[in-house]
């Protein structure tokens, strides 16, 4: 089985960590097929823990995500798997006190980090927001 997933300690916009997500939960999705990347909500149909070879990516503004090497990330060119993201513009979300900003920015650092614990989250064929730090997220395809 392909394991496209985020690190179990990745933050979601609602304040939960990916490892805490259960089947039946609602999570925030990104409008990967819209220019505004508008946030919607979707129902989790699968959530399980696994180990996977992983990468750390860091965008120009410092938004970080740790995820499996098989994960697909929404870019200005469509979905791209993680090992091919260096220099690509990825969908990014920054939550401030009064405003949520969604935009595309360049991946400046992409480093293989070995095997990590990941959470495989499925919400149909939709992408969800996740990040290594609260308030800063990258749009990751749930599979």
pLDDT tens column, 15-70? 999 999 999 999 999 988 777 888 899 999 999 999 999 999 999 999 999 999 99
Q: Which residues pair with 125 in a beta bridge?
A: 123
Task: List the domain boundaries for the chain.
Answer: 6-141
**Mean pLDDT score of the chain:** 93
Structure-model confidence comparison of residues 64 and 1, the more confident one:
64
- How confident is the model over 77-87, as a mean pLDDT? 96
Report the predicted TM-score, pTM, of the whole model to 2 decimal places: 0.94
The answer for residues whose C-beta is within 8 angstroms of residue 38's C-beta and 6 or more apart is: 30, 31, 102
At residue 99, the pLDDT reads: 82
The answer for residues whose C-beta is within 8 angstroms of residue 23's C-beta and 6 or more apart is: 44, 45, 46, 47
Q: Is the pLDDT of residue 84 over 80?
A: yes
Structure-model confidence comparison of residues 112 and 35, the more confident one:
112
Give residue 33's region: left, alpha or beta (phi > 0; psi -120 to 50). Answer: alpha
At residue 3, the pLDDT reads: 61
User: ∠ CA(25), CA(113), CA(18), 5° rounding?
Assistant: 10
> For residues 95 and 135, is the Cβ–Cβ distance under 8 A?
yes
Classified by CATH at the fold level, domain 6-141 comes out as Endonuclease - Pi-scei; Chain A, domain 1 (2.170.16)
Percent of the chain with pLDDT strictly greater than 70 = 97
Structure-model confidence comparison of residues 97 and 102, the more confident one:
102
Q: Is the pLDDT of residue 137 over 70?
A: yes
């Amino acid at each position: 089985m392909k394991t496209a997933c985020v690190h179990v300690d990745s933050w979601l916009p609602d304040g939960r960590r990916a490892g805490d997500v259960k089947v039946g939960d609602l999570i925030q999705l990104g409008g990967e097929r819209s220019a505004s990347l508008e946030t919607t909500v979707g129902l989790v149909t699968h959530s399980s823990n696994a180990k996977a070879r992983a990468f750390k990516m860091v965008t120009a503004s410092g938004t970080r995500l740790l995820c499996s090497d098989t994960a697909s990330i929404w870019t200005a060119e469509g979905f791209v798997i993680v090992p091919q993201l260096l220099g690509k513009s990825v969908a990014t979300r920054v939550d401030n006190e009064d405003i949520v900003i969604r935009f595309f920015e360049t991946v400046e650092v992409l480093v293989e980090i070995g095997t990590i614990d990941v959470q495989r989250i499925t919400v149909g064929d939709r992408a969800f927001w996740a990040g290594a730090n609260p308030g800063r997220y990258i749009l990751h395809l749930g599979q």
